[in-house]
Structure formats: C-alpha cells, structure tokens
Amino acid sequence: MTDKKHKLLEVKGLTMDFGGLRAVDSVSLTVHEGEIAALIGPNGAGKTTFFNCVTGIYTPTSGDILLHPKGLATRRLNGLKPNKVTEMGLARTFQNIRLFSGMTVLENVMIGRHCRTYSGIFRSIIRNRSVREEEQEIVETSYRLLEKVGLEKFVNEFARNLPYGAQRRLEIARALATDPLLLLLDEPAAGMNPYETSELDQLICRISEEEQIAILLIEHDMKLVMKISNPIFVMEYGKKIAQGSPLEIRDNPKVIEAYLGEEVDA
C-alpha cells in the first residue's frame, strides 16, 4: 500500500561512528508523505544520533540522506548545516527542550519563522513597506501556530514560565513556523503526565492532517507510538532490526527480545 505514496525522506545506509563506537550502523528507512512514523528502540540504540545526522548536527560517516519534495528536485542533505537543513524542509524538536527562555512565547515562534523571510538587516533598518508587511505576516503566522498548539493565551508570557508540557508544545509551534515538509520530534512526550500525553497525541495527528506535514518521532511511550504511528522502525545497537505496522512490531520476536529487561511504559 505504501508503494503508491510519495517518498519524502529516504535515508540509505546511514552510518555514524564516534571513534571506535558505531552509534548508527547502515540504517535505511523511508518516510512517505502523510505518514506519522516512529523510531523506537532501547536506550542507547542510536535514535537521537540518527536524528542528529539527518538534521545536520553531525556529518554522517557514510550513507545518503535524501529529501524528495513533490514536484521539485531531490535534495541531498548530507553535511549541510542545521539551518540549511531547516531551509530544505526539515524541522525538529529536541529531547532536552531548547527554547529562548527569556523571550516571550510569541517571540520564540517568530524566530522560527525568520528562516522563511527575506528582509536582511539593511532592509530592516530602512523598514519600507514590504518589510513591514513581512513583519506583519510573521506575527500573524506565529499567532496562528500558537492557537494550533493551544498556547494563544500565553503569547506575552516568558517561555520559562510555561508548564513543562506547554514548553514542549511551544517547541513544536516554533518548528512548524519554519514551514517544514517533515517534522522530527525527539521524545515529545518525555516528562508529560497522562493528560498532557493524550493532548499531545491529538495535536500530532492534527498537525499531520491539517498542515499536511509528515512526522517522524522518537518516543519511549509505547502507548502513544502504537496509537498514532505507522510505520514503526525499531533500532537496537545502532542497527535497524524491524519495521512495520504497530501490530507487526508488537508481535515481532526480535523487538520483544530487544526490549526484555527494559521498562516499557505501555
């Protein structure tokens, strides 16, 4: 069935060595348009390193990272700086929240939006009409995204004053402000209570549908993963050991073995 879908992200044979440690070992996976995919695996399996390679934080030792925007030429992301990867259409959030804590909620989202604007410093000083219109667009888009993630009542609050779950949603709004084709979420439910997690799974599904964005998430909360993602990719010791639907993954003996001894929060 997935064969008919448009391939958006195609990662082939991705390998990342840190000295003698092979953290990611020849991992290939494809995320198609419209999918909510998940990357799971025990602690230390290499999931975050995989994200860091795809988003330009690390230059992979070998392999290919290709983005195929529909109707446009394929973009090879290997070795690009993180801001370039964002411009190409990949946005991400981090396992440890990275917000500008002393800036307001609205300003945090506006910063994300700036990668899609054209006013350089010179034009900003002159502040002609097109610059003012662009600024207006940034504010309006940022506000709309804050409404989408349910934070509109906090626009003028400092980011550091938000409850933890709300900070995670703010990171998602900031990533969305870059107009991504694919959104990578690194443990979006970490530290959330069950109520916040159930709000989060609805939010992720809404973003995927309404914004037409594909999503790849790393998550340890199996209930969340099984409920919203398909396909699921499983890593262990740097290698991809399985991929499939939630049912296929749940019954896969290799996956069950990989998780033996791990606490799974399902």
Ligand X SMILES: Nc1ncnc2c1ncn2[C@@H]1O[C@H](COP(=O)(O)OP(=O)(O)OP(=O)(O)O)[C@@H](O)[C@H]1O
262 binds ligand X (CB under 6 A): no
For residue 164, give the nearest of 206, 199, 196, 198 by alpha carbon. 196
Nearer to ligand X, 137 or 257 (CB): 257
Please state the closest distance from residue 24 (CB atom) to ligand X, in A. Answer: 7
Half-sphere exposure of 200 (CA within 13 A, CB side): 27
CA distance 188 to 110: 21
* Residue labelled with tokens 């779950």: 165
Burial annotation 219-247 (CB, 10 A radius, 16+ → b, else e) = bbbbbbbbebbbbbbbbbebebbbbbebe
Q: Which is nearer to ligand X, 44 or 79 (CB)?
A: 44
Closer by beta carbon to ligand X, 39 or else 106: 39
The Cα 50–Cα 15 span in angstroms is 9
> Rounded CA gap, 83 and 88, in Å?
9
Specify the residue, 173 or 183, whose C-beta has the smaller distance to ligand X: 183
> Pattern 37-76, binding to ligand X, x per CB under 6 A?
----x-xxxxxxx---------------------------
Is 264 among the residues that bind ligand X (CB under 6 A)?
Answer: no
Rule CB under 6 A: is residue 225 a binding residue for ligand X? Answer: no
Measured from the CB of residue 93, what is the shortest distance to ligand X in angstroms?
14
Applying CB under 6 A, what is the total number of residues that bind ligand X?
11
Minimum CB distance to ligand X, residue 140 (Å): 36
**Residues 1-40 within binding reach of ligand X (CB under 6 A):** 18, 21, 23
Q: What are phi and psi of 227, to 5 degrees?
A: -75, -40
Binding residues for ligand X, rule: CB under 6 A, are 18, 21, 23, 41, 43-49
